[in-house]
């Protein structure tokens, strides 16, 4: 065996190790995107077939996608042993307080930017009564999107991505926050940026607290300026 071959062997081994490590990550990412499609596709397909008024379409999308997300969470939880692995648990009180402390300035920033850089909603809500706006977008959307993105998708990735960029940044949080921003592309760059920031804050609260509740609180507060 030549000296060149001796030096090449460790390099080849490292390449194979990287490939073997990357495959599970890539597979988990593909499954996560599949879960995302599985949650939303039936909801939007139902709305496309029925073609209801906007006041019916919004709760229909929320309820169908949320129901599917819960079914997937409980199905996957049978393997992990507990739904608490998906954030369905009560957090320590300090994380609730932290969610309020973070949510209020985020809501203020959202309201300020929304005033100077107004964006058009993909859904015409001008005919919605006030109670419906608060129920659908203040509560319903906050719960639905957090269960889907931080509960189902982020938790699924965190259970399979063991690596992290640093102690304060999780790849699973970063990916789901980016995906959350992408689905808001129709509302403009300001809304997309806000959605990504919200996803990062909510994702870290979910990761550190072990519960979805702090993320839901931040999300609900973040949505308030748009309801006023």
**Per residue of the chain (228 residues), what is the pLDDT tens digit?**
544 444 445 555 445 545 444 666 889 999 999 999 999 999 999 999 999 999 999 999 999 999 999 999 999 999 877 899 999 999 999 999 999 999 999 999 988 888 788 887 778 888 899 999 999 999 999 999 999 999 999 999 998 876 544 456 789 999 999 999 999 988 888 889 999 999 999 999 999 999 999 999 999 999 998 887
Q: Note whether residue 9 is domain-resident.
A: no
Q: Note whether residue 156 is domain-resident.
A: yes
Q: Note whether residue 10 is domain-resident.
A: no
Q: Note whether residue 13 is domain-resident.
A: no
Distances (CA, A) of 70 to 28, 195, 227: 19, 22, 27
pLDDT at 9: 53
Q: Note whether residue 2 is domain-resident.
A: no
Question: Looking at the 3D structure of the chain, how many domains does it have?
Answer: 1
Cβ-contact 124, 54 below 8 angstroms: yes
Distances (CA, A) of 83 to 49, 92, 169, 185, 213: 33, 17, 24, 31, 14
Q: Note whether residue 203 is domain-resident.
A: yes
Q: Note whether residue 202 is domain-resident.
A: yes
pLDDT at 188: 84
Q: Note whether residue 6 is domain-resident.
A: no
Q: Supply the range of the domain harboring residue 203.
A: 18-227
């Amino acid at each position: 065996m030549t000296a060149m071959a001796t030096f090449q062997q460790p390099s080849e081994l490292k390449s194979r190790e990287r490939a073997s490590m990357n495959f599970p990550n890539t597979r988990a990412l593909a499954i996560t995107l599949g879960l995302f499609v599985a949650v939303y596709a039936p909801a939007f397909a139902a709305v496309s077939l029925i073609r209801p008024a906007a006041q019916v379409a919004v709760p229909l999308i929320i309820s169908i996608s949320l129901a599917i997300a819960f079914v997937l969470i409980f199905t996957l939880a049978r393997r992990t042993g507990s739904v608490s692995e998906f954030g369905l648990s009560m957090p320590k009180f300090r994380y609730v307080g932290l969610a309020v402390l973070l949510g209020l300035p985020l809501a203020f920033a959202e309201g300020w930017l929304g005033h100077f850089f107004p964006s058009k909603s993909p859904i015409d809500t001008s005919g919605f009564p006030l109670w419906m706006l608060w129920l659908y977008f203040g509560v319903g959307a906050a719960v639905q999107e957090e269960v889907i993105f931080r509960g189902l998708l982020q938790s699924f990735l965190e259970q399979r991505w063991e690596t992290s960029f640093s102690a304060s940044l999780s790849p699973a949080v970063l990916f789901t926050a980016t995906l959350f921003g992408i689905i808001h592309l129709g509302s403009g760059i300001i809304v997309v940026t806000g959605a990504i920031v919200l996803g990062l804050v909510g994702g870290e609260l979910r990761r550190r607290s072990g519960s979805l509740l702090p993320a839901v609180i931040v999300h609900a507060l973040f949505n308030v300026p748009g309801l006023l």
